[in-house]
Structure 1
Amino acid sequence: MRLVRLLAGVAVVAVAGLVLAAPAAGQQPAAGLRRPDVIFVPTAQNVVDAMLEMAKVTKNDIVYDLGCGDGRIVIAAAKLGARGVGIDIDPQRIKEARENAKTAGVEDRVQFLEADLFTTDISEATVVTLFLLPSLNLKLQPKLFKELKPGTRIVSHVFDMGDWKPEQTREVDYRSIFLWTISANSGK
């Protein structure tokens, strides 16, 4: 029953995100960026920790969080010694993420970009984290295959990648986490 409630809640958040992300009549996004595809829904800290553990993040990693929101995943990775880049199209979230990084004392290890995750170069990533809708994960897949090097790990919270089967799946408080690794044959 708890799982059904969780799935129903995720569905409501997804629909609300699509509705709220739709442009209001006559409004244009700032600086030529399009509007956010979803509303910000924070990832619980225990899920953040599990995602980074699942990806085996070390001080040698560069963690990119696509749709980074308040920056919590990138900040947690920096606390493990990794470097991180958070990308979000929402200027308010980027401002909040930068403030959170400063408060956490990791601003020298992280960078937050107000940018479109579909057009921003992510080729330096060794780990990519996602909490996006299924349609966005699928739309992002060709970019992941094209830009990421073999060995790059991808971890998604709640939503999978369609026919691309994960190497690992973990449940944390009734939330699914999926792991994939880019190989030389990924996307072919």
Structure 2
Amino acid sequence: MDGGGGTRPATLEEGRPTECVPPASLEANSLKKSSWGVLLTGIVGGTLVAVYAVATPFITPALRRICLPFVPATTKQIENVVKMLQGRRGPLVDVGSGDGRIVIAAAKEGFTAVGYELNPWLVWYSRYRAQREGVQASARFYISDLWKVTFSQYSNVVIFGVPQMMAQLEKKLERELGDDARVIACRFPFPHWTPAQVTGEGIDTVWAYDVRSFRGGDGRPRSHFPSVIPIQ
């Protein structure tokens, strides 16, 4: 006789695990979160690849033994360069032209100006700027290593150099430039040449060198370096 007066409730079998089936809404939320995770991973990965692709040409020149890292010219530096070009004629070259500011400024002053730059992104940007400023006919830019370019056809050379390369660049320019050429150095002077003019101060200092001043009377380079290296 059942003293409980009612039906005994059903119980789970001992030792049998329970099974829970998530509602459809929970499954949908889980899939949605997974999709967002994949999308976010793709965006982050794509951004890193893009940054690497853009930044690598900027960084790799700085890892070379002798380099020209990109540092934009200041407004005052450009003014000082233009001042050193007053009364000058003939084609101009900017060695390591960066974003093209010097070349474009020279083109606006009436020069046929060329920029050589190793970084392709900067060359493309410089071409865009020249077109936007309306001087694309007289301001041209090329992707090239300065050590592989001959500068004999230029009467005016502008260089934003670094101390480690100035002595070697002296030798190259002495060999290649004509007697009427002028070399304008920004930020760092050449170690052996005596400047014809100096203007500005601090990082805006600009040195102008006339080739005839460091050439001998026979027109040959008055070199500060031995022409023959003795064999040890």
TM-score class, shorter: 0.7 to 0.9
Q: CA deviation at 1:61?
A: 2.4
> Is 2:147 the counterpart of 1:118?
yes
Q: CA deviation at 1:18?
A: 8.8
Q: For the Cα contact (< 8 Å) 1:87–1:114, is it kept in 2? A: yes
> Where does the alignment leave 5 or more consecutive residues of structure 1 unmatched?
1-16, 24-34
The TM-score normalised by the length of structure 2 is: 0.63
> Is 2:104 the counterpart of 1:69?
no
Residue of 51, 76, 82 corresponding to 1:52: 82
Give the SS at the match of 2:142: strand
Give the SS at the match of 1:70: coil
Give the SS at the match of 2:161: coil
Partner in structure 2 of residue 78 of structure 1? 107
Partner in structure 1 of residue 131 of structure 2? 102
Residue 140 to residue 41, structure 1, CA distance change in 2 (3 Å): same
Runs of 4+ in structure 1 displaced over 4 angstroms? 17-20
Give the SS at the match of 2:167: helix
Residue of 107, 116, 119 corresponding to 1:90: 119
Q: For the Cα contact (< 8 Å) 1:89–1:114, is it kept in 2? A: yes
Structure with the larger helix share: 2
CA distance in 2, matches of 1:173, 1:160: 12
Q: CA deviation at 1:78?
A: 0.5
> Where does the alignment leave 5 or more consecutive residues of structure 2 unmatched?
1-57, 224-232
Q: For the Cα contact (< 8 Å) 2:66–2:165, is it kept in 1? A: no
Query: Over aligned residues, Cα RMSD in angstroms?
Result: 2.3
Residue 40 to residue 140, structure 1, CA distance change in 2 (3 Å): same
Q: CA deviation at 1:53?
A: 1.4
CA distance in 1, matches of 2:66, 2:190: 20
Q: CA deviation at 1:77?
A: 0.5
The TM-score normalised by the length of structure 1 is: 0.77
Greater Rg by CA: 2
Structure with the larger strand share: 1
Residue of 134, 145, 153 corresponding to 2:182: 153
> Is 2:222 the counterpart of 1:187?
yes
RCO higher in structure (CA 8 A, sep ≥6): 1
